[in-house]
């Protein structure tokens, strides 16, 4: 049993926010927001910025199996007191900025956007009603002849194999999908060795993988592959339905009360393109954290440094792409859960506009902020996968979506007159390594293509983060309520248990005020996008941090790193905006750093263009991860 201080934590949360207790008085005072029209979005705005880090607290908590705690925690803090202080601070901040705030704007409950077509440069208009395989063919026609052709003769230090590399190898007979599948299975087995313990997957079936690979190999043998995706290994986050596997959501119990009976829409479309679906990747339990540490299935280790976290909650999906096991994987992004691990592992992470992809078959943990996302080796692979799964969602009328464009990445003419909005206080709320690396990348991009940086202020960042936290927490609690009422809480990891306890304390007033803040932020961003094409930020405020043994079996709460990781991700989810991250360099310890582009609604083609341009500049300096498997090796 965990220590008594943890056992009483949930009652402590109730007492802290309850109106009948002495501490309940904290619900009396809150921020008075000025009207949206009165907020200055210019570079010299007097809007107060709340930094991500919280001075005076060591905010890393481990849940021990005895009354004492080990390692760093035992040396640096009294667990009971410090955890309660952290919760008190967090809840007081939430009360002041969200719960008790005075906000004039009405609530905005769903981040839907106008269906007007977006004017984008250098794109191909995709015909409606194409099959997934036909869309993939259209996207393939938008790519340069090869990765090397886009680098103008400069060699790469290292590069991962792409979808087109595998497709060429299959067509030429150099190898077969069956041979690659067997190498994959051998690599996964090696990754489970006690010396590595990578914990990439929650579930995979060698028999099912071999069956799919044999079918694909037969299609190539008779010269009839379905698409360029035929025979491509694709991993699926265990938050997305994919037969024949249960969907656990990173738990040991959810699949027992919610069986998987069919493929999710995005999985079904990939399968129709001939992709080989290789299993369900590990994730942070219930998506309720950013580290990727799962006490039930193991902590997914970062292939760039196995002693570092991979990020979450789509930890396994990012790690398998980084390690070369799959050129692409699917994740779910409810609060940066695709982009954060992509950045920490040094791969591409792409989240389209809200409702551009179908949520059918995705665990309904966060209805208005979550959606499938793509983790990929390159921007080109992200585009091909996006093409496969971006059909009109079956549960949404077609008229709610504008025309679909694919970027002409093979165009000889770069985009012109691109303006990158940069909010300096927000941008600089990161480590020196992250800040300097991202600044250099933007400078190189603007110098090479003649693009401009537009200084702006994106206000109320911490307020938006907390409003999103209330929203995702409330939706998660409502979704899981029928299951949690019948569940023994001992089946839930301690970090997820604390998160659910905090989520359960939110009231209808909290939720409504959070949606008022959503309305404000939607208006702020709309105004900024009248002058700029994209907003540019670091993807995360820190790089991958150490994976401490104390947390492996029980989970971890790390408020400082968690807040720094999620700092730049919220607008994509809370406001339903498209966003993409691409690696632009390394910190002094050799860990990847990602740069993020946030776009106007429905501007996926422009984002892919910009990410591709950034990738072209930076990919030549990419380095081989500590753990990497070469699945096209013929030896």
Name the residues annotated as catalytic.
237, 313, 337
195 contact partners, CB below 8 Å, separation of at least 6: none
163-172 vs 379-389: helix axis angle to the nearest 10? Answer: 80
Q: Which of 235, 243, 238, 339 is nearest to 297 (CA)?
A: 238
Alpha-carbon distance values, 163 to 329, 579, 608 (Å): 12, 22, 17
Is residue 81 classed exposed, middle or buried when 0-12, 13-18 and 19+ CB atoms within 10 A define those classes?
exposed
d(CA 274, CA 234): 10
Q: If you search the block for the tokens 């656990």, which residue do you land on?
A: 248
CA angle 593, 599, 603 (to 5 degrees): 125
Alpha-carbon distance values, 363 to 242, 275, 476 (Å): 12, 22, 10
* Helix residue ranges per DSSP H, 192-283: 206-221, 254-257, 265-272
The helix (H) or strand (E) run that includes residue 597 is strand 592-599
Q: Write out the two tokens for 295.
A: 């006490």
- Label the pairing between strands 233-237 and 276-281: parallel
CA angle 424, 429, 433 (to 5 degrees): 100
d(CA 113, CA 130): 24
439 contact partners, CB below 8 Å, separation of at least 6: none
Q: Which letter does DSSP use for residue 149 in this model? A: G
Partners of residue 586 on adjacent β-strands: 592
Q: Write out the two tokens for 412.
A: 């000889």
Where b means 16+ CB within 10 Å and e means fewer, 377-413 reads bbbbbbbbbbbbbbbbbeeeeeeebbebbbbbbeeee
Q: Kindly report each contact of residues 115-121 with a partner whose C-beta sits within 8 Å and lies 24 or more positions away, as own/partner.
A: 115/399, 115/400, 115/401, 115/402, 116/402, 117/402, 117/403, 117/602, 118/402, 118/405, 118/600, 118/601, 118/602, 118/603, 118/606, 120/405, 120/407, 120/603, 120/605, 120/606, 121/415, 121/416, 121/606, 121/609
What is the phi/psi pair of residue 201, to 5°?
Answer: -120, 150
């Amino acid at each position: 049993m965990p220590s008594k201080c943890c056992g009483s934590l949930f009652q402590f949360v109730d007492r802290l926010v309850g109106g009948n207790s002495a501490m309940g008085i904290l619900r009396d005072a809150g921020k008075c927001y000025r009207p949206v029209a009165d907020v200055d979005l210019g570079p010299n705005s007097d809007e107060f910025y709340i930094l991500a880090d919280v001075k005076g607290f060591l905010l890393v908590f481990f849940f021990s199996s005895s009354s004492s705690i080990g390692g760093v925690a035992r040396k640096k803090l009294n667990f009971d007191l410090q955890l309660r202080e952290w919760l008190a601070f967090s809840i007081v901040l939430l009360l002041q900025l969200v719960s008790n705030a005075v906000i004039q704007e009405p609530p905005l409950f769903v981040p839907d956007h106008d269906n007007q077509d977006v004017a984008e440069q250098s794109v191909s208009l995709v015909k409606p009603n194409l099959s997934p395989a036909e869309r993939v063919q259209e996207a393939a026609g938008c790519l340069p002849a090869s990765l090397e052709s886009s680098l103008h003769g400069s060699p790469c230090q290292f590069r991962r194999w792409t979808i087109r590399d595998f497709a060429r190898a299959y067509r030429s007979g150099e190898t077969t999908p069956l041979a690659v599948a067997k190498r994959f299975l051998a690599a996964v087995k090696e990754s489970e060795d006690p010396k590595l313990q990578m914990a990439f997957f929650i579930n995979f079936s060698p028999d099912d993988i071999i069956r799919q690979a044999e079918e694909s190999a037969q299609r190539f043998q008779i010269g009839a592959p379905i698409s360029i995706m035929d025979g491509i290994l694709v991993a699926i986050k265990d938050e997305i339905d994919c037969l024949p596997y249960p969907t656990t959501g990173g738990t040991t119990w959810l699949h027992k009360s919610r069986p998987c009976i069919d493929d999710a829409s995005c999985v079904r479309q990939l399968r129709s393109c001939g992709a080989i679906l290789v299993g369900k990747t590990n994730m942070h339990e219930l998506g309720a954290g950013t580290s990727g540490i799962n006490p039930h299935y193991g902590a997914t280790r970062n292939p760039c440094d196995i002693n570092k976290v991979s990020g979450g909650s789509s930890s396994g999906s990012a790690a398998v792409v980084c390690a070369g096991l799959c050129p692409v994987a699917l994740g779910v992004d409810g609060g940066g859960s695709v982009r954060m691990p992509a950045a920490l592992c040094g791969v591409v992470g792409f989240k389209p506009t809200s409702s551009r992809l179908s949520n059918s078959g995705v665990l309904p943990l966060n209805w208005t902020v979550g959606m499938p996302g793509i983790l990929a080796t390159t921007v080109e692979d992200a585009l091909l996968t996006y093409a496969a799964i971006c059909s009109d969602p079956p549960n949404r009328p077609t008229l709610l979506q504008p025309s679909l464009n694919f970027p002409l990445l093979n165009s000889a003419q770069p985009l012109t007159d691109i303006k990158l909005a940069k909010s300096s206080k927000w941008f600089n709320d990161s480590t020196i390594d992250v800040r300097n690396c991202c600044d250099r990348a933007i400078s190189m991009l603007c110098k090479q293509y003649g693009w401009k940086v537009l200084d702006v202020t994106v206000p109320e960042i911490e307020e938006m983060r907390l409003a999103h936290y209330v929203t995702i927490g409330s939706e998660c609690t409502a979704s899981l309520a029928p299951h949690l009422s019948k569940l023994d809480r001992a089946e839930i990891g301690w970090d997820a248990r604390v998160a659910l306890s905090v989520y359960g304390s939110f009231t209808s007033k909290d939720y409504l005020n959070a949606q008022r803040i959503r309305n404000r932020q939607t208006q702020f961003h709309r105004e900024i996008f009248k002058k700029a094409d994209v907003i540019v930020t670091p993807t995360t405020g820190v790089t991958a941090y150490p994976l401490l043994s104390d947390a492996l079996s029980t989970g971890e709460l790390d408020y400082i790193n968690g807040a720094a990781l999620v700092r730049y991700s919220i607008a994509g989810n809370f406001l339903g905006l498209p966003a993409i991250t691409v690696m632009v360099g390394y910190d002094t310890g050799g860990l990847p750093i990602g740069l993020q582009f946030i776009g106007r609604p429905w501007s996926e083609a422009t984002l892919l263009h910009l990410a591709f341009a950034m990738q072209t500049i930076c990919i030549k300096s990419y380095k081989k991860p500590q753990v990497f498997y070469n699945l096209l090796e013929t030896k």
